[in-house]
Amino acid sequence: MDSALIPKGVKRCPFGLFLVWIGILQIPFLIGVIAYLVCWGLALNQTYLNNNYPFGLWIAADLGIIALGGGAFFTAFLRYIIKIDELKNIVNFATVIGVMCYAAALGILAVDIGQPLRGWHIFWHANVHSMLTEVAFCISCYFTVLLIEYLPLVLENREINKFGFPRSFAHHLHEAMPAIAAIGVFLSFFHQGSLGGVPSVLYGRPFAYREGFLVWPWTFFLFILSAMACGPCFTILITRITETFAKKQLVKRNVIDILAKISGWLLGGYLVLKIIDTISWGVSLAPSVGAPAGSFYANQPYGWWVLITEVGILGIIPCIILLSTRARQNQPLLILACLLNCAGIFMNRWIMSVQTLAVPVMSFDKFFSYHPNWAEWASTLMWVWLSAIVISISYRYLPIFPQEKELNPL
Amino acid sequence: MFPFIFDWVSDASHFVFMGTLYAVMGLLVIALHYCGIRAFFDWLCKKGQHEH
Amino acid sequence: MKEEHGHRPGKKTYKYGMVIDLDKCTGCGACMVACMAENNISFRKDETNKLVSNFWMRVYKITNGRSFPDTDVCYIPRPCMHCEGHGHHHHTPCVSVCPACATDYDHETGIVSQIYTRCFGCRYCMAACPYHARVFNWWDPSWPKGMEKYLSPDVSPRMRGVVEKCTFCHHRLQRARNKTYSEGRREIREDEYQTACTQACPAGAITFGDLKNPEHKVHKLVEEGKKKKIAFRLLEKLGTNPKVYYVSTKDWVQKAADVYLGEEGKPVTHA
């Protein structure tokens, strides 16, 4: 039925089956839409957020999703600026993933703020000294860059590409891509870093506060590095999930291996700096405000296990796997490493946003626990389902994987 | 965001921050227009060739 | 931003602040009630969950953690600290992070205020404040039927989805300014600008005024307290530089003002 739209030389599942798949994804997606409407209509009392936890799942997810979406800018950086040519076989897919990650980040912010209709105030009345302003400007600009990077893929659809103007436009966009990618890299460095600055400029919160270089706290640089380390792993993970559903190989293993290896080295570098940062915080910054480092880990569920899990299980283990050639080429191990790496980033972002608020600062302040409720979960996960829908449609109708024909001859 | 908005201050931070923002936005707009215009002329040339 | 350009050279500046004598405070909560009535703070039928309650002034009860007969209790009223922050630009924790300039440090008075119609509810300022002085409007504001007639016309009620906080009854300052101007004076007298909580405290534990003015009682109390080493501020080590001072002769109360000093595995004490 839709065979005219499917790229030449590749096989896709029957249209009916595809519709069933999209239909299934729409069910949890619609639950997310209901959660959005409930939060917008009845206000944020519909969540478990409160005055002690003004930031919760939404902000942690935002920070995490943007780090995972870092695969788009970093792959583009390696492909167009460092000129690792093999990565042309995965950069398109990294862009699609990036588009959805950033759409999710903006979409989640739209429900997180108390007055969504005033969201434009962040631009209009911008406080240039606030990390959040820098984040908002850079994310919006970078989302535009990602859409521009995604545009030629859409224009290369078989039917659209028949027309002269879209074909030529896509061609010229491809030519301009290194320049556009460079702008994207510039923006990404700043907003990934600024996200690290969001909790770390809060000098009233000694758990997250860090000193740094000029206006940027040390976590500014840690966040950039960690996004570069986990973004490619997320791209690998989603590629492998797509391959599982498509029941065929879409990208050659050497391409995946390059990304995994780079990711491993960056993760290693990040972990070294993270450990130095944590130790220096523990021995100098925390005691300087009158609290031993242990007091910040005194309240369950945020005990020492949090730090050990984040750095050890979700950091050092995937790093070792990714750095070892033999382990990396073992596919189940590679998937495990990617999963651990991505989970580690999410955990780090949760710690930096939610645990920061969980730790009582005043001695007579009580510790309260927080967990998200259904509305927060549904509205956050809605973006997972929407992303699955967009990726499914993009995979079906757009030439995203250049190696697909070669790997799967008809 | 603009100098005419209440609370705008003409200081170094504003010039650096907003200057970078407008430079980035400008570059993106220029890149898109450049590609669009070139594609339009390609299309015009090809259309002309077909008509001849 | 305002915090940088708000200061006009040559213009006389004030530093409004508070001294709360914790030895006098009985924990009656009159300051909280007065604050709610004065500032049109809305409330709901069921206020069981204090984490979503709306308080500008909150009274904490702390104990020395000892058992009878050594047990001792102290009440700590906690308004907004109106932090001066550090540095020339008054790098106040909340003002410096607000992305939309919706919270402002007034260089003339030292008052940190909130611009409700500009705030879009990102709650970054709440995360920045270690005193929990900022609260969010989780609900639409509402009052029992008929009570809206008793609302103060000088204070705008806040809409849902925005952050609000103690303003040191800023509208009273405006009123005092109008009065002085109409009487052809320049200086506001100490008794002309007092916050609602100060006036409501039956024990006289709260004193309000210009910390810079040697004629004002707050100035004297701070100087005296510093000499006797009984004056302190909450979380002083963080460098937030609050304008609310506390006075207590009790050593354990002074220690409780510091950053949490608990040990690993032990619950937060005193609460």
Neighbouring residues of C266: CB distance < 8 A, sequence distance ≥ 6:
A298
Instruction: Assign A213 a pLDDT band (cuts: 50, 70, 90).
Output: confident
CA separation for the pair C185, A369 (Å, rounded): 54
In a domain, C235, yes or no: yes
Neighbouring residues of A199: CB distance < 8 A, sequence distance ≥ 6:
A205, A208, A219, A352, A353, A356, C127
A76 neighbors A94 (Cβ within 8 angstroms): yes
Which DSSP category does C230 fall into? Answer: -
In a domain, C179, yes or no: yes
User: Is 60 exceeded by the pLDDT of residue A211?
Assistant: yes
Q: Which whole number is the average pLDDT over A224-237? A: 95
User: Is 90 exceeded by the pLDDT of residue A364?
Assistant: no
User: Is 90 exceeded by the pLDDT of residue B52?
Assistant: no
Containing domain of residue A327, as a range? 3-360+371-407
User: Is 90 exceeded by the pLDDT of residue B5?
Assistant: no
In a domain, A366, yes or no: no
Number of Cβ atoms within 10 Å of the Cβ of B33: 10
CA separation for the pair A113, A390 (Å, rounded): 25
| 8 Å CB contact of B5 and A129 | no
- The count of domains in chain A is 1
Neighbouring residues of C149: CB distance < 8 A, sequence distance ≥ 6:
none
Instruction: Assign C7 a pLDDT band (cuts: 50, 70, 90).
Output: low
Q: Which whole number is the average pLDDT over A186-213? A: 92
Q: Which whole number is the average pLDDT over A320-342? A: 95
Give the three-class secondary structure for C56. coil
Q: Is B7 on the interface with A (CB under 8 A)?
A: yes
In a domain, C262, yes or no: no
Q: Which whole number is the average pLDDT over C19-36? A: 96
Under the phi-then-psi rule, with left for phi > 0, alpha for psi from -120 to 50, and beta for the rest, what region is C66?
Answer: beta
The pLDDT assigned to A148 comes to 93
Q: Which whole number is the average pLDDT over B29-33? A: 94
What's the pLDDT tens digit per position in C115-126?
Answer: 999 999 999 999
Which DSSP category does A373 fall into? Answer: -
What's the pLDDT tens digit per position in A52-66?
Answer: 999 999 999 999 999
Q: Identify the CATH number of the domain in which residue C178 sits.
A: 3.30.70.20
The pLDDT assigned to C12 comes to 85
In a domain, C129, yes or no: yes
User: Is 70 exceeded by the pLDDT of residue A243?
Assistant: yes
| 8 Å CB contact of C137 and A114 | yes
Question: What would the DSSP string read from start to end of C147-202?
Answer: GGGGS-TTSPPPPTT-EE---SSHHHHHHHHHHHHHTT-SSPPGGGS--HHHHH-T
Query: Looking at this predicted complex, what is its ipTM?
Result: 0.93
For residue C132, which of A287, A196, A367 has the smallest C-alpha distance? A367
Segment among A71-75, A156-160, A287-291 with least mean pLDDT: A287-291
The pLDDT assigned to C86 comes to 80
Give chain A positions within 8 Å (CB) of B14. 128
Count A/C contacts: CB-CB distance under 8 Å.
Answer: 204
Q: Which whole number is the average pLDDT over C227-245? A: 92
What's the pLDDT tens digit per position in A8-49?
Answer: 889 999 999 999 999 999 999 999 999 999 999 999 999 999
In a domain, A365, yes or no: no
Instruction: Assign C232 a pLDDT band (cuts: 50, 70, 90).
Output: very high
What's the pLDDT tens digit per position in C48-72?
Answer: 999 999 999 999 999 888 888 989 9
Higher-pLDDT residue of C144 and A410 is C144
Instruction: Assign B50 a pLDDT band (cuts: 50, 70, 90).
Output: low
Give chain B positions within 8 Å (CB) of A187. 24
The Cα of A171 is separated from the nearest Cα of chain B by a number of Å equal to 8
The pLDDT assigned to C8 comes to 60
Containing domain of residue C21, as a range? 2-256
| 8 Å CB contact of B7 and C4 | no
In a domain, C176, yes or no: yes
> Rounded mean pLDDT of chain C?
89
The pLDDT assigned to C260 comes to 57
Q: Which chains touch B (3 or more CB pairs under 8 A)?
A: A, C
Higher-pLDDT residue of A132 and A213 is A132
Q: Identify the CATH number of the domain in which residue A262 sits.
A: 1.20.1630.10
